[in-house]
Chain A
């Protein structure tokens, strides 16, 4: 199993450009999450999904949109990138109620720089 994968690994955008980050998991997990991590800080939740076709806002949702059209994929979109969105983005998935309950499995991250 590949676990949680993220595409791309690195990206540089200019202010105002748009892009989509892709997260894929092959563990058949119901829940998926997008976090961002700024230097020296902990992770902050952007959006999450508790199942295919559902999404919910997290702590810092402004400037982002998400979609969960397929169970295995969770997309994070930036419609008009701003320098404040320069960060490392982590995707995670979990299967509540199975094994370690709320254990989340994280991807390797996407490093985004907005100039």
Chain B
């Protein structure tokens, strides 16, 4: 599986957009980009995933660069409840267990 690189921590003001970057320069053509988050002491929660097109759901948007070597998770209006560790993971769809790195600790500040 391709490895990812994320900043260890970020701050965001409440109500503003949180933009979390991820580098995955060795991603292969059949690998998806997945984002999960882990709120303190809880199990990780799926947020969104994509292959090469930008994706949006009720939680977030995922922007993948054209060369697929990096992506950005966007939380459009961050709230205090979005404070969590966010993991960017690349994996084949369906059959490959996920490999979690250390993620980015996002702190949303009032």
A residues with a Cβ closer than 8 A to B are 4, 33, 35, 40-45, 48, 50, 58-59, 88, 90, 92, 96-97, 100-109
Max count, chain B CB within 10 A of own CB: residue among A43, A88, A96, A105: A43
**Interface contact A42-B103, CB-CB below 8 Å:** yes
**Interface contact B43-A96, CB-CB below 8 Å:** no
Among residues of A, the one whose C-beta sits closest to the C-beta of B91 is: A102
**Interface contact B42-A102, CB-CB below 8 Å:** no
Closest 9 A/B residue pairs (Cβ): A106-B43, A96-B94, A42-B100, A43-B100, A101-B93, A103-B46, A42-B102, A45-B97, A42-B101
Contact residue range for chain B?
20 to 34
**Interface contact B43-A109, CB-CB below 8 Å:** yes
Min Cβ gap B27→A in Å is 15
Q: Which B residues are CB-close (under 8 A) to A92?
A: 43-44
Q: Which A residues are CB-close (under 8 A) to B43?
A: 4, 90, 92, 106-109
Q: How far is the CA of A59 from the CA of B98 in the complex (A)?
A: 11
**Interface contact B41-A103, CB-CB below 8 Å:** no
**Interface contact A102-B100, CB-CB below 8 Å:** no
Q: How far is the CA of A60 from the CA of B43 in the complex (A)?
A: 19
Q: Which B residues are CB-close (under 8 A) to A90?
A: 43-44
**Interface contact A96-B46, CB-CB below 8 Å:** no
**Interface contact A102-B44, CB-CB below 8 Å:** no
Q: What sequence of 0s and 1s flags, for each residue 85-99 of chain B, a beta carbon within 8 Å of any chain A beta carbon?
A: 001000111111111
Q: Which A residues are CB-close (under 8 A) to B97?
A: 33, 45, 48, 58
Min Cβ gap B31→A in Å is 10
Q: Which B residues are CB-close (under 8 A) to A43?
A: 44, 98, 100
